[in-house]
């Protein structure tokens, strides 16, 4: 018996849309479960080299929690490209400025690097508040607490 590799056209045709509410969720746990869905690991047709994941709409990104002292102590570093141009932001400042960027960075670190990971990340839409403009896609609510490795998201 051969292992069947899902054709890309079939994987694209079977994509669903999910809404994830991050109100009161812990950042790292939520990011891991979102990456799980974006990658397609919740499907029986999962293939590592094919983008078989679903779309994820993240709402209430501003209400995500960080455990311990991470809000004050966790630093996000970037470099301007000039000599001595390293700049840092605490998680608290990043939550104030752009809470969606905090979620995006966490999920991006859990996806594969390269063109496949970038394509997966494009399927995530992050909104700071409870409203999103994707009602036409008829998204289903996804409960992150029930989504664990090996279970079905639907």
* 66-98 per-position pLDDT tens digit: 999 999 999 999 999 999 999 999 999 999 999
* Residue 108 reports pLDDT greater than 90: yes
**Distance of alpha carbon 4 from alpha carbon 41, whole angstroms:** 15
Residues of the chain with pLDDT > 90: what percent? 77
Q: What mean pLDDT is predicted for residues 96-119?
A: 95
**Distance of alpha carbon 101 from alpha carbon 99, whole angstroms:** 5
Q: What is the pLDDT of residue 12?
A: 83
| In the chain, domain spans | 17-65+98-141
**Distance of alpha carbon 77 from alpha carbon 86, whole angstroms:** 7
Closest Cα partner for 39 from 104, 105, 119?
119
The CATH code for residues 17-65+98-141 is 3.90.1180.10
* Residue 20 reports pLDDT greater than 70: yes
Residues of the chain with pLDDT > 70: what percent? 95
Provide the whole-model pTM: 0.89
Q: What is the pLDDT of residue 123?
A: 96
Q: What is the pLDDT of residue 145?
A: 80
Helices (H), 98-150: 99-108, 115-121
**Distance of alpha carbon 115 from alpha carbon 143, whole angstroms:** 28
Q: What is the pLDDT of residue 98?
A: 93
Q: What is the 3-state secondary structure (H, E, C) of 2-39?
A: CCCCCCHHHHHHCCCEEEEECCCCEHHHHHHHHHHHHH
Q: What is the pLDDT of residue 149?
A: 52
């Amino acid at each position: 018996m051969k292992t069947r590799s899902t054709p890309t056209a079939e994987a694209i045709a079977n994509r669903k849309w999910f809404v994830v509410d991050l109100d009161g969720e812990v950042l790292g746990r939520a990011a891991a479960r979102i990456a799980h869905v974006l990658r397609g690991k919740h499907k029986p047709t999962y293939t590592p080299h094919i983008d078989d994941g679903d779309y994820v709409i993240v709402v209430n990104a501003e209400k995500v929690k960080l455990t311990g002292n991470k809000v004050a102590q966790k630093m996000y570093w970037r470099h301007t490209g000039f000599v001595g141009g390293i700049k840092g932001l605490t998680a608290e400042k990043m939550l104030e400025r752009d809470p969606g960027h905090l979620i995006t960075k966490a999920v991006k670190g859990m996806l594969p690097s390269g063109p496949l990971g970038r394509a997966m990340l494009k399927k995530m839409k992050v909104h700071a508040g409870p409203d999103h403009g994707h009602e036409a896609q008829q998204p289903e609510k996804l409960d992150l607490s029930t989504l664990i490795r090996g279970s079905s998201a639907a």
